[in-house]
Structure 1
Amino acid sequence: MENRKGESPMPVFDLHCDTLTAFMSPLRCRDTLNDPCSAFALSKVQTIPWCQCCAVFVPDGLTPQEALSYYRYHRDSFQRQVQGCQGQALACTTAREVSAAWEQGKTALVLTVENGSLLGAGLEHVEELRRDGVRMLTLTWNGENALGSGHETDHGLTPLGKEAVRALEETGIVVDVSHLNDAGFRDVLDIAQRPFAASHSNARAVCAHRRNLEDWQIQEMVMRNCIIGLNYYSPFLRSDGEEADFDDLYRHICRFLELGAEDCLALGSDFDGADLPPCLDDCRKVPALAEYLMDRGLSHSLAEKLFWKNALDFTQKNWR
């Protein structure tokens, strides 16, 4: 696959997908990371230098101990799948390892966690997550857990949640504020000493969904050298109920750029975690987005920042 200039395809560094835990039906492929029915699959990106952050998505409603067991089950699945596809992919925990995987023509896979409810079982498990190679963790999903509240409620971080932010930073796991509500975001601002992430969140000024980031939140993240991944889910891209297209992503990108986020903006697809619009419902369609953005006037260097350079730079500075 080549781009319009006959060059090699632009690398992709995607901060979030749910592929690892999305397909639990016996009718689907046991090896979720290479299921041909999925939006992201290793076999689909072999011609593209690709880094995919793969979240263990922990549903709301589990007890902390149930959430911990659930996490361990899917961590083991991730490790088994990576072991079985070493010719195609490598598990990575540093920017250097990501670059090395690309140099070998392999996909870089990174383990993350969506919903920190498992830490309700004890903050000693932060060390376990780090040993497992987890590099990023969202504090909540949509509802409440032992750490705080997602966008469906208005409560901020709990005392345990505030301790968790400190413990994650001390251990070198990036705090992820996607799904966190505004009160919890303010609590993170009060506590965080290191840059954090919003792995799959868009601009609320363009689409007024509570899952998206307010302008003041984006500006705070820019000042703190954080990273923000663009989400492809239509209801987070536009408010009228219609399917999104490339132009909707372009409008969000323009808003982020107006707020100074040129060096903070990345991709956070939400592959296999949401019904995505036809233009981006398969990872093989992502290179066309780069071509579209450059046709709309984004420079090649800016497209590279968005597609991979910003994320790789963030990981180089913050994945310890």
Structure 2
Amino acid sequence: MVDGHCDTLTVLSQQKRTLGMQSPHGHLDLPRLRKGGIDVQFFAVFVGPECSSDPAGYVNEIIDLFNEEIKINQPEIEHVRCYRDIENTLQKKKTSAVLTIEGGEALNGRIEQLDLFYNLGVRGLTLTWNGRNELADGVGMGLRPTV
């Protein structure tokens, strides 16, 4: 079973909890993942409007948090970077964690940032969320009139 999105990483520190702690708050935690039978979980680093001054720096902070959570909970979850990693993790009966970024603002207008994030283990990037950035208009921007 694959879950293609959660915003858990961006609220863990706000909620003063770890991924391994069951909680009624947030999208998920490891106990609820197990109970729900989720084998592969995509973890999004959400780049909200409050991150506009340094989105790449914020993303790096959340990636550090993700890596710490993976380390703390390594008996149950592994950061995966390719399909073979997922297969290996499934054989070990662990949850596969795929790291993604929600919002092209994280690139800070520099395409080279993609390589840096890829090297940190990010395997997905959405162009935008609700707002506008240099890559695209988000759903919150409404429809543009056609000419």
Q: TM-score range by the shorter chain?
A: 0.7 to 0.9
TM-score normalised per structure 1: 0.41
1:209 is matched with which residue? none
Inter-partner Cα distance in structure 2 for 1:155 and 1:62: 25
CA distance in 2, matches of 1:58, 1:34: 24
- Residue type of the partner of 1:54? F
Alignment partners' CA distance in 2, 1:49 and 1:89: 11
Contact 2:56-2:106 at 8 Å conserved across structures: yes
1:113-147 Cα offsets, whole Å, 9 max, x none, are 00110213411101011101111111111011122
Q: State the match for 1:106 in structure 2.
A: 94
Counterpart amino acid of 2:135?
L
Larger Rg: 1
**1:14/1:71 Cα in 2 relative to 1: closer, same or farther (>3 Å)?**
same
Normalized against structure 2, the TM-score is what? 0.86
Q: Find 2:46's aligned residue among 31, 40, 57.
A: 57
Find the residue that maps to 1:135 and give its secondary structure: strand
1:17 alignment partner, SS class: coil
Q: How many Å separate the matches in 2 of 1:61 and 1:146?
A: 17
1:154, CA displacement in angstroms?
Answer: 4.5
CA distance in structure 2 between the aligned counterparts of 1:116 and 1:155, rounded to whole angstroms = 20
**Residues of 1 paired with 2:65 and 2:72: CA distance?**
11
C-alpha distance in structure 1 between counterparts of 2:45 and 2:130, whole Å: 15
Aligned counterparts of 2:38 and 2:11: Cα–Cα separation in 1: 23
Richer in strand (by share): 2
Percent sequence identity is 29
- Give the distance between the partners of 1:154 and 1:46, measured in 2 at CA: 39
Structure 2 residue 94 is matched with structure 1 residue 90: no
Partner of 1:134: 122
Matching residue of 1:149:
137
- Could you say which residue in structure 2 is the equivalent of 1:19? 8
Q: CA deviation at 1:101?
A: 0.7
Q: How far is 1:155 from its partner?
A: 7.2
| Local SS of the residue matching 2:3 | strand
Q: 2:58 aligns with which of 54, 67, 70?
A: 70
TM-superposed deviation, 1:62: 3.4
CA contact (8 A) 1:148 1:155 kept: no
Structure 1 76/20 Cα, relative in aligned 2: closer, same or farther at 3 Å? same
Matched residues in 2 for 1:16 and 1:86: separation? 20
C-alpha separation in 2, matches of 1:61 and 1:36: 28
Unpaired runs of 5+ in structure 2? none
Runs of 4+ in 1 over 4 A off after TM superposition: none
Tell me which protein shows more helix as a share of its residues.
Answer: 1
- Structure 2 distance, partners of 1:35, 1:121, is 37
Shift of 1:34: 2.6
Report the aligned-residue RMSD: 2.1
